[in-house]
Every structure is written in C-alpha cells, then in structure tokens.
Amino acid sequence: MIINWPEKFARKGHELFLSGLPIALHCHHYNMNLQKTLESSLGSDGTLLLYQAAEESSYAGFTSFLQHHPKINTTKSKLELASTSYQYCGLGIINFTQIEPEGGRIVSPHSHHVTGWLAKFGKRETPGCFFSRGWIAGALAVIYDKHIGYYRVDELQCKMTLARECVFEVVIA
Ligand SMILES: [Zn+2]
C-alpha cells in the first residue's frame, strides 16, 4: 500500500495536522535546547518527561493513523509504517527488523536528534536519544495492541557518544 504523505498533512491557517492530529514542527535548535534545558535543570526527571511525552504522542498518533488506514493490518506492514512515518516526519532512519511482541533491538543509523545534538553541543558521555526511546515505546505499544507504558526502551549505544549507530533495546516493562 502506498501512502500519499503530502495528502496526510493538512494546514488550517497556521495550524498543521497529520492524519487529523495537530502537530508541531521544530528545528534542531528548539528541540536540542528543550532537551538540554530539561536535562540540566531536572536531571533524570527531565529526560523521563521527554521520553513520556514522545511515548504519549506516538501512541496517540499511531492509534489515529491506523484507524484511518484499516488495510494496514499486519504487524509487518505496521512496523513498515512506523519506520516510514519516522523518516517522513524528519526524525531519522530506524530499523524494526529485530523486534517481536516480547521486545528486541532496534537500530538507527541516522537521526534528527543525533545530528542536532552533535551540531549544537558536541559529543555526549552518555546516550541521549530520549525522544526516540519514547517514540519507539509508544509506536510498539500500538502495533502489538498493548497499553501505553507496556514497553521500556533503553539505549545501549548512541551516536551522540560517537558510537557507530544508536541501538535501542525493547523489553516488557
Ligand atoms: Zn542515540
């Protein structure tokens, strides 16, 4: 099935919608400064806030998207949709080939957050893709018909620390 992405975006005045849900578009300056501010002021509570916000938004977005596309009804096609929408929204490239309902591993060779963080702040000492972790957790909960918070996604290695790629581990929380 081919999705006509430009058709899925709708503009009403200054508001932008993706498959019926209002969305916000921000450049890396906004997104990285938001992450830096949350992390430096609140520590792990701040990064958890990023994770949970991304999880909630991807859960709601994916639920809505699949309701509008009932023909996307196999796990494989839903995972492909997740990968495609991640890329189409400018978030990066993500590979869902090693994932099952019990969890697994997800690899991302390129991402908006990695490029943005390295450009603005340089190398990190610890993994920093909190948004991507939450986004994955929310999308997988929809794909495998679980409740939000069902999965916990950790990052085993991260390009922000100059690893070759970001590697995420998914387990049942
Ligand atoms: Zn990373």
CATH assignment of the domain containing 86: 3.30.1380.20
What pLDDT shows up at residue 126? 97
Alpha carbon separation from 164 to 12, 51, 93, 95, 106 (Å, rounded): 41, 23, 14, 14, 14
**How many structural domains are present in the chain?**
1
Model pLDDT for residues 24-40, shown as the tens digit of each residue: 778 888 889 999 999 99
Structure tokens at 44: 């792990």
- Torsional sign, CA 81, 84, 90, 93: positive
pLDDT band at 2, cuts 50/70/90?
A: low
Model pLDDT for residues 90-104, shown as the tens digit of each residue: 899 999 989 999 999
- Measured in Å, residue 166 CA sits from the centre of ligand 1 at 4
Model pLDDT for residues 65-91, shown as the tens digit of each residue: 899 889 999 999 999 999 998 998 889
- Measured in Å, residue 159 CA sits from the centre of ligand 1 at 5
- CA 104, chain centre distance (Å): 16
- Measured in Å, residue 171 CA sits from the centre of ligand 1 at 17
- Measured in Å, residue 10 CA sits from the centre of ligand 1 at 31
- Measured in Å, residue 157 CA sits from the centre of ligand 1 at 7
pLDDT band at 17, cuts 50/70/90?
A: confident
Alpha carbon separation from 7 to 11, 92, 117 (Å, rounded): 10, 21, 31
Containing structural domain, residue 140: 28-172
- Measured in Å, residue 141 CA sits from the centre of ligand 1 at 21
Percent of residues, the chain, with pLDDT higher than 90: 73
Residue 1 has pLDDT above 70, yes or no: no
- Measured in Å, residue 94 CA sits from the centre of ligand 1 at 11
Q: Which runs of E-coded beta strand occur in the chain? A: 9-12, 15-18, 21-23, 92-100, 103-111, 151-157, 166-172
Structure tokens at 60: 């709601």
pLDDT, the chain, mean: 92
Assigned domain for 10 exists: no
Assigned domain for 66 exists: yes
Assigned domain for 135 exists: yes
- Measured in Å, residue 67 CA sits from the centre of ligand 1 at 30
Assigned domain for 84 exists: yes
pLDDT band at 22, cuts 50/70/90?
A: confident
- Measured in Å, residue 160 CA sits from the centre of ligand 1 at 6
Assigned domain for 19 exists: no
Other C-beta atoms within 10 Å of 81: how many?
21
Assigned domain for 22 exists: no
Spatial separation of the C-alpha atoms in residues 81 and 29, rounded to whole Å = 27
Percent of residues, the chain, with pLDDT higher than 70: 97
Assigned domain for 94 exists: yes
Assigned domain for 5 exists: no
Spatial separation of the C-alpha atoms in residues 115 and 131, rounded to whole Å = 14
- Measured in Å, residue 93 CA sits from the centre of ligand 1 at 12
Question: What pTM value is reported for the model?
Answer: 0.90
